Each structure stands twice: as C-alpha cells, then as structure tokens.
C-alpha cells in the first residue's frame, strides 16, 4: 500500500519527467511496477523508496522509477492494419513522390523494439518491390533499459510467439541460449535507436515522412497530447502519415491532422494547415 502523500509525489515526478498522467485509482500499478526496485535496493516499502527519491540518491532512483513506470508492452506486428497500409499504400505513394530521396520513419515510444523491427522486416521482404529506394527508421524511447534490450535484438520464445509469422521467424532470427531468439544483423542495421523524451523539443531530428506513435498518447493528459501532436506535425511534410494506437485520436486535440478516409488510426496532414517554415524549425 502506498501513502497518499507518497503517491501524490510519485504522480508529480512522473508527470514532470515523462508526461505520464496517473489517475488517482492507479495506486495498484505503482505498487506492482515499483516492487522490484524496492527489493533490489533493500527498501522495506514504497515509503522508503520515496524517501530515497527525495534524498541524496534521488537522481538515480528517480530514473529507475520513471523507467519502470513508462516501459510498456510491445508486440511484433501489433494490429495488422497499419503494416498492411504501410506496405500497400503509404510507401508506394511516398516513393512515387520522393524521386529517390530517402524516406524517413519515426517510431516514437518504441519500447523494446518490436515495432521498428517489424517495419524493418517488411522493408527487407519488399526490397524487390521498392527497388533502390532508401529508408531510415529512427526508434526512440525514454527508457534506457528498454532501449538496451531493443539494441540487443534478443527476445524470448514467448515474445516472438506473439505476432511474429513463422516464415519471418525462420528467416530473420536465430535461436540462442535459453530458448531466446536473436534478430538478424541485416534487420538491426535498418534501425537507429535513440533516447528521447516526448516532452522535450523535437529539434535536430529532421523531417519524417511517417510517424508511428501508438499506444503512448493514452498515458498523457489532454494538454500534453496536444503539445506532442503539434510538434510531430511540424516535423512532417504535407503528404506525411501519422499512425496512432487503437484507442487514440487527434480529434479535439489539434487541427493539423485529418483521419485517412480508408485506414483506421492512420492520419494525414490537414491540407488546410498552413504552418510556416519557421514554425517547423521550432518543433
């Protein structure tokens, strides 16, 4: 059980550091997620953990707490529709429009890497179809532990068994120790993993033709959702695509995006959006 004042402190820290907006009924989630940290450091309860966060050891402990609370489940090929749209609609349209220029894809809040690696596998599978077109996949997350796992490209049998087609598993993974599977170097080479907090400015990231931001906005409050979406819009060209998670929408949050007429959870830039070039630079 967590005391009310400690819970309020944790909520403030998480909101300030990551944008995560915990509702008052999420005490059970805090208890579950932070129990391993208490055990690892010898804290008898959450009160001692919060005391350490407030004290001399605060910085390191806070980083661990944010890490534990913001690491979310990730699956290979989660929800087939966005990937079908990517290969069958988005990429052919962008390839035709770019005239050979690289197409850049951003996976925001990529967690342990299943989403960007799924995209990389599809690019490899469709290499003949896409010809000499070059792609860049940038995958970001706030969690250092999640990024370390993503860069390693090592997954359990349970993880690859959730969504990974058998033919891709045979083609792009090798079995390692303890029934773990290692993703092929050719797939790893297609993805650049970077540490990034979605609350921070997106400057120096460059422009992205496609942005995957799935199942992360649901953890933000309304103003933070709007802020993140507005910043993302400034990084995207007028023919760019935004892909959100199942329960997420831009409706009522920003006028910079409009729903794609055919594909659920796929958004395009609102053609009435006349954001200036200087607006883009300040993303």
Inter-residue contact 223 to 254 (CB < 8 Å): no
Only one residue has tokens 């402190």, namely 9
DSSP bridge partners of 213 = 244
Please say if the pLDDT value at position 8 is more than 70: yes
Instruction: Supply the pTM of this predicted model.
Output: 0.88
- Sequence spans of domains, the chain: 4-70, 80-153+183-281
Give the span between the Cα atoms of 199 and 3, in whole angstroms.
28
Inter-residue contact 208 to 283 (CB < 8 Å): no
Q: Please tell me if the domain spanning 4-70 has the same topology as the one spanning 80-153+183-281.
A: no
Confidence of residue 59 (pLDDT cuts 50, 70, 90): confident
Residue 101 is classified by DSSP as P
| Residue pLDDT, tens place only, 182-220 | 999 999 999 999 999 999 989 889 999 999 999 999 999
DSSP alpha helix (H) spans, the chain: 4-18, 27-41, 46-54, 58-70, 80-85, 91-98, 114-125, 127-130, 144-152, 157-160, 166-172, 185-188, 222-234, 277-281
| Residue pLDDT, tens place only, 22-31 | 888 888 889 9
Give the span between the Cα atoms of 279 and 283, in whole angstroms.
7
CATH 3.40.718.10 fits 80-153+183-281, yes or no: no
Confidence of residue 279 (pLDDT cuts 50, 70, 90): low
The CATH number for 4-70, chosen from 1.10.150, 3.30.450, 1.10.10, 1.10.155, is 1.10.155
Catalytic positions, please?
33, 141
pLDDT at 261: 84
* Lookup: tokens for 273: 């959006």
């Amino acid at each position: 059980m967590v005391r009310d004042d400690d819970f309020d402190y944790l909520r403030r820290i998480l909101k300030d550091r990551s944008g995560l907006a915990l509702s008052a009924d999420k005490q059970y989630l805090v208890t579950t997620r932070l129990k391993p940290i208490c055990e690892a450091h010898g804290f008898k309860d959450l009160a001692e953990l919060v005391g350490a966060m407030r004290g001399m050891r605060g910085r390191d402990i806070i980083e661990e707490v944010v890490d534990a609370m913001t690491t979310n489940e990730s699956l290979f090929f989660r929800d087939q529709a966005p990937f079908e749209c990517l290969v069958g609609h988005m990429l052919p349209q962008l390839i035709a429009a770019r005239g050979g220029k690289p197409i850049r894809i951003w996976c925001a809040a990529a967690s342990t890497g299943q989403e960007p690696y799924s995209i990389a596998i599809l690019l490899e599978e469709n290499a003949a179809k896409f010809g000499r077109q070059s792609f860049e996949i940038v995958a970001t997350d706030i969690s250092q532990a999640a990024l370390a796992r993503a860069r390693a490209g090592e997954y359990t049998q349970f993880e690859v068994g959730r969504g990974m087609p058998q033919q891709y598993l045979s083609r792009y993974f090798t079995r390692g120790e303890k029934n773990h599977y290692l993703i092929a170097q050719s797939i790893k080479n297609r993805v650049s993993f970077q540490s990034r907090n979605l609350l921070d400015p997106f400057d120096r990231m460059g422009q992205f033709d496609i942005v995957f931001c799935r199942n992360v906005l649901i953890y933000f409050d309304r103003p933070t959702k709007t802020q993140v979406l507005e910043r993302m819009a400034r990084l995207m060209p007028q023919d760019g695509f935004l892909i959100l998670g199942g329960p997420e929408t831009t409706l009522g949050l920003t006028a910079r995006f409009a729903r794609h007429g055919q594909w659920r959870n796929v958004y395009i830039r609102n053609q009435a959006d006349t954001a200036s070039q200087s607006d883009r630079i300040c993303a």
